[in-house]
Amino acid sequence: MTATAKQDQLTALFKAATVIPVLTIERLEDAVPLARSLVAGGVRTLEVTLRTSVAIEAARAMMAEVPDAIVGIGTILNPNDLARAEKLGVKFGISPGLTPDLLKAATDSALPFAPGIATASELMMALAQGFDLAKFFPAEQAGGIKGLRALGGPFPNVRFCPTGGVGEANAATWLAEPNVVAVGGSWLCPTAEVRAGNWAGITAICQRTLKALKAA
């Protein structure tokens, strides 16, 4: 796949997703019921972060047992993480940031990849390697919507997925920005609900969020 085709595929995937839950899975046995509860609530595109030791196995279980889930790996910090995600066969990779090594590995890889940026210089590094869809992280803390709008000036062709401080209360405001294709965050899968196995509660959060976004 050409670099452009890979970027187009990722943009289409994010646009279709609209909201992407950032999942930190502590217990492997939660993976499948969690993915099912999100999908049941209309949220299919899932970012499984590499923040726990069971993350890779959790993503594998979701792919095997929840066919409607579109599983990606997040918190990709280095080329080794990227290689693990690609080997697993997930649909996309996301990083909270970027390094020259990671951008090089992502360029060489077939895995659609969104680097994370918070500044113009980081965005310039991403663009120099052809990455025109970036995670804006940490979105609220790094300037919020005003910060994103300011970046939109010199970089009108870049598309963003803001993450960090996004939730039910402000998701619609972020999504109304013309350069925002999706938003991500942990609000769709609160740790307390996952620990309690409150899968119906997670489905309800997803449904409420999507309903509010439709009405907006």
Distance CA 138, CA 123 (A): 14
Beta partners for 94?
A: 114
Is residue 162 involved in binding ligand 3PG (CB under 6 A)? no
Whether 123 contacts 103, CB under 8 Å: no
Instruction: Indicate the pairing of strand 133-136 with strand 116-117.
Output: parallel
Interface segment toward ligand 3PG; rule CB under 6 A; list 79-87, 149-157, 158-166, 206-214: 158-166
Active site residue 6: no
Site residues for ligand 3PG, 163-202, by CB under 6 A, read: 163-166, 184-187
List the Cα angle 58/62/67 in 5-degree steps: 170
Q: Which of 6, 86, 91, 135 is catalytic?
A: 135
The minimum distance between CB 1 and ligand 3PG, in angstroms, equals: 26
Q: Which of 47, 86, 140, 193 is catalytic?
A: 47
Cβ-based nearer residue to ligand 3PG, 8 or 186: 186
Preceding amide of 178 cis, omega within 30: no
The minimum distance between CB 202 and ligand 3PG, in angstroms, equals: 14
The minimum distance between CB 92 and ligand 3PG, in angstroms, equals: 14
Active site residue 47: yes
Among 41, 72, 93, 96, binds ligand 3PG (CB under 6 A): 96
Among 22, 31, 63, 106, binds ligand 3PG (CB under 6 A): 22
Distance CA 119, CA 170 (A): 21
**What is the three-state SS of 49-115?**
ECCCCCHHHHHHHHHHHCCCCEEEEECCCCHHHHHHHHHHCCCEEECCCCCHHHHHHHHHCCCCEEC
Beta partners for 87?
A: none
Is residue 93 involved in binding ligand 3PG (CB under 6 A)? no
Distance CA 65, CA 74 (A): 20
Cβ-based nearer residue to ligand 3PG, 8 or 84: 84
Output DSSP code: residue 44: -
In the bound complex, which residue of the shown chain has the CB atom lying closest to ligand 3PG?
185
Cβ-based nearer residue to ligand 3PG, 8 or 173: 173
Is residue 109 involved in binding ligand 3PG (CB under 6 A)? no
Q: Which residues are catalytic?
A: 47, 135
List interacting residues with ligand 3PG (CB under 6 A).
22, 96, 137, 163-166, 184-187
